[in-house]
Structure 1
Amino acid sequence: MSSWLRSAVSKAVEAGGRSGVARAVLGYADAVAHHAGQAVAEGAKILNDRMSTQNYKSVKKMVKRLEEAAVSSRGEDRLQVLRHWLRALQEVEAQLGGLDGAAEQNAHSSEPNTSKPPFARVLFYDADIGGAPMNFRDVFLYSQALEGITLSMILQAPNEEEVPLLLEIFGLCLTGGKEINNAIMSSIQDLAKSFSNYHDEVLVKREELLQFTQSAISGLKRNSDIMRIDAEAVELWKKLNEKETSRVQQTQEDHAKTTERTSSTTVEVDKLKVLATSLSNSSSKAEKRILDHRRQKEEALNFRAKKENEVSAVEKELTAEISELEKQRDELEARLKKVNISLNAAIGRLKQTREERDQFDEANNQMIFSLKAKDNELSKSITSCNVEAGVVKTWINFLEDTWQLQSSYNEQKEKRTNDELERCTDNFLKLTKYHLSTFKEILSPSIERICTYVDNLAVLQSRDVSTEHDNEELSEKTSPQKSLEEEYLETEKKIVIAFSITDHMKKLFYSEQGVNSRRDDEDVRNLFSEIEKLRERFESVERPTLDIEVRRAKVPTKEPSPVQVPSTPKAETVVSPKSPAKPDQPLDLDSELAKLELEFGQVNKYSPEEISGWEFDELEEELRADISKSQ
Structure 2
Amino acid sequence: MSWLRSAVNKAVEVGGAGNRNLSRNFRYYADSVVQQASNAVSGGAKLFLDRSGSRSFQNFKQAVKRLEELSVSCRGVERVQLLRRWLVALKEIERLSLPVSEPVSSPTSIDSIYTTDDSKNSPREPTLVLYYDPDLGGEPLNFRDVFLSSQALEGMILSMILEAPDTEEISLLMEIFGLCLMGGKEVREATMSNIKVLAKAFSSYKEEVLAKKEELLVHAQGAIAGLKINADIVRIDSEVSNIHQTLDKMILQLPSSKDDKDSSSVATNATSEALKEALSQLQFLSKLEALLLQKKALLNRDIPESQSKRVFKLKVLSESLSSSASKTEERISENRIQKEGALKFRIVKTGEISQLEMELEDEIKALENQRDELEAELKKVKVALVSANARLHNAREEREQFDEANNQILQHFKVKEDELSRSMTLYRAEADVCDAFISFLEDSWTFESSHIQQKQKQVNDELDKCEDYLVNLSILVLSMYKDELGPSISNIRELAENLKRSENTNNEKMETVEVNRRLEEEYLNAEAKLVTVFSVVDGIKRQFHGQEGVISR
Bin of the TM-score, shorter chain as denominator length: 0.5 to 0.7
Query: Matched residues in 1 for 2:99 and 2:524: separation?
Result: 60
Q: Is the 8 A contact 1:94 1:100 kept in 2?
A: no
Hey, what does 1:82 align to over in structure 2? Answer: 83
Q: CA 1:78–1:452 in 2, change beyond 3 Å: closer, same or farther?
A: same
* TM-score, with length taken from structure 1: 0.57
Could you tell me which residue of structure 1 aligns to residue 293 of structure 2? 249
* CA distance in structure 2 between the partners assigned to 1:73 and 1:371 by the alignment: 47
How far apart are 1:145 and its partner, in Å? 0.7
* 2:224 paired residue number: 217
Q: Deviation of residue 140 (structure 1)? A: 0.3
Deviations 1:409-448 (A, max 9, x none): 2222223222222222221121122233345445566677
Counterpart among 173, 186, 202 of residue 180 in structure 2: 173
Note if contact 2:210-2:317 (Cα within 8 Å) is conserved in structure 1.
yes
Of 442-451 and 190-199, more deviation after overlay is shown by: 442-451
Q: 2:551 aligns with which of 514, 518, 529?
A: 514
- With normalisation by structure 2, the TM-score equals 0.64
| C-alpha distance in 2 between matches for 1:449 and 1:351 | 146
Task: Give me the whole-angstrom Cα distance separating, in 2, the residues matched to 1:305 and 1:99.
Answer: 92
Offset at 1:61?
0.5
Q: Which residue of 1 aligns with 2:436?
A: 394
1:185 counterpart (189, 192, 196): 192
Q: Hey, what does 1:280 align to over in structure 2? A: 322
SS of 2:327's equivalent? helix
Aligned to 1:64: 65
What secondary structure sits across from 2:75 in the alignment?
coil
Report the Cα distance in structure 1 between the residues aligned to 2:405 and 2:502, rounded to whole angstroms. 133
Q: How does 1:112-261 map to 2 (within 5 A)?
A: 113=120, 117=125, 121-240=128-247, 242=285, 243-257=287-301, 259-260=302-303
Distance 1:481 1:100 in 2: 60
C-alpha spacing 1:312/1:182, structure 2 compared with 1 (3 Å): closer
**What residue in structure 2 maps to residue 433 of structure 1?**
475
How big is the shift at 1:98? 8.2
**Root mean square deviation of aligned Cα:** 5.1
The structural deviation recorded for 1:404 is: 2.5
Deviation at 1:283, TM superposition (A): 1.5
Aligned-partner Cα distance in 2 for 1:395–1:423: 42
Pick aligned residue for 2:423 from 377, 381, 384 = 381
Whose RCO is larger (CA < 8 A, sep 6+)?
2
Distance in 1, matches of 2:443 and 2:105, equals: 34
What SS does the aligned partner of 1:169 have? helix
* Alignment partners' CA distance in 1, 2:551 and 2:487: 32
Task: Return the alpha-carbon distance in structure 2 between the equivalents of residues 479 and 131 of structure 1.
Answer: 57
Offset at residue 484 of structure 1 (A): 10
CA distance in structure 2 between the partners assigned to 1:309 and 1:438 by the alignment? 121
Read off the aligned partner of 2:548 and give its amino acid letter: Y
When residues 228 and 479 of structure 1 are mapped into structure 2, their CA distance, relative to the original with a 3 A threshold, is: closer
The answer to whether 1:91 aligns with 2:92 is: yes
Distance 1:211 1:447 in 2: 73
Matches within 5 A, 1:307-326: none
Q: How far did 1:377 drift? A: 1.2
Partner Cα distance (1:348, 1:499) in 2:
130
What SS is found at the alignment partner of 1:124?
A: strand
* Aligned CA distance change for structure 1 residues 489 and 423 (closer, same or farther; 3 Å): closer
Counterpart residue number, 2:14: none
For residue 122 of structure 1, give the secondary structure of its aligned residue in structure 2: strand
Q: Which amino acid aligns with 1:74?
A: R
CA gap 1:386/1:225 in 2 versus in 1, 3 angstroms: same
Alignment of 1:570-609 (within 5 A): none
Which one-letter code corresponds to 2:300 in the other structure? A
1:400-479 matches, cutoff 5 A: 400-442=442-484
User: Any idea what the Cα deviations from partners look like across 1:419-478, whole Å, max 9, x if unmatched?
Assistant: 2222222211211222333454455666778889999999999x9xxx9xxxxxxx9x97
Which residue identity does 1:507 align to in structure 2?
A: H
CA offset at residue 72 of structure 1?
Answer: 1.0
Distance 1:135 1:105, change over 3 A: closer
Separation in 2, partners of 1:384, 1:88:
43
1:510 maps to amino acid: E
Q: Equivalences for 1:332-351 in 2 at 5 Å?
A: none
Counterpart in 1 of 2:15?
none
Indicate conservation of the 8 Å contact 2:68/2:152, yes or no. Answer: yes
Unaligned runs of 5+ in 1: 1-50, 334-339, 341-346, 468-474, 517-631
- Given the superposition, is the C-alpha separation of residues 450 and 508 from structure 1 closer, same or farther in structure 2, using an over 3 Å criterion? farther
Q: Distance in 2 between matches of 1:142 and 1:106?
A: 19
Q: Shift in Å at residue 487 of structure 1?
A: 7.5
Structure 2 distance, partners of 1:234, 1:52, is: 25
Task: Give deviations 1:280-304, integer Å, cap 9, x for gaps.
Answer: 2111111111122223334445566
CA distance in structure 2 between the aligned counterparts of 1:123 and 1:501, rounded to whole angstroms:
40
Between Structure 1 and Structure 2, the one with more helix by share is: 2
Give the whole-Å Cα distance in 1 for the aligned partners of 2:94 and 2:479: 47
- SS of equivalent residue, structure 1 residue 271: helix
Mapped to 2, the partners of 1:393 and 1:132 lie a distance apart of 44
Deviation at 1:239, TM superposition (A): 1.1
Q: For the structure 1 residues 312 and 77, does the alpha-carbon distance in structure 2 shift closer, same or farther, using more than 3 Å as the test? A: closer
* DSSP-derived class of the 1:57 partner: strand
Please state whether the residue corresponding to 1:274 is helix, strand or coil.
helix
Question: Structure 1 counterpart of 2:416, which letter?
Answer: K
Deviations 1:20-56 (A, max 9, x none): xxxxxxxxxxxxxxxxxxxxxxxxxxxxxxx975243
Q: Secondary structure at the match of 2:79?
A: helix
For the Cα contact (< 8 Å) 1:67–1:143, is it kept in 2?
Answer: yes
Deviations 1:540-578 (A, max 9, x none): xxxxxxxxxxxxxxxxxxxxxxxxxxxxxxxxxxxxxxx
Q: Is the 8 A contact 1:432 1:505 kept in 2?
A: no
Q: Which residue of 1 aligns with 2:543?
A: 505
User: How far does the alpha carbon of each residue in 1:486-528 deviate from its partner, in whole angstroms, 9 at most, with x for none?
Assistant: 67975785476356325413422421x2268xxxxxxxxxxxx
CA contact (8 A) 1:90 1:99 kept: no
Q: Residues 263 and 290 from structure 1, CA distance in 2 versus in 1: closer, same or farther, beyond 3 angstroms?
A: same
The structural deviation recorded for 1:158 is 2.3
Name the CA distance, whole Å, in 1 between partners of 2:424 and 2:99: 52
Q: Alpha carbons of 1:409 and 1:491: their partners in 2 closer, same or farther (altered >3 Å)?
A: closer
What is the rounded CA distance, in whole Å, between the counterparts of 2:547 and 2:502 in structure 1?
A: 44
Structure 2 CA distance, aligned partners of 1:78 and 1:356? 69
User: For residues 94 and 498 of structure 1, do their structure 2 counterparts lie closer, same or farther at Cα, with a shift above 3 Å needed?
Assistant: closer
User: Partner letter of residue 155 of structure 1?
Assistant: L
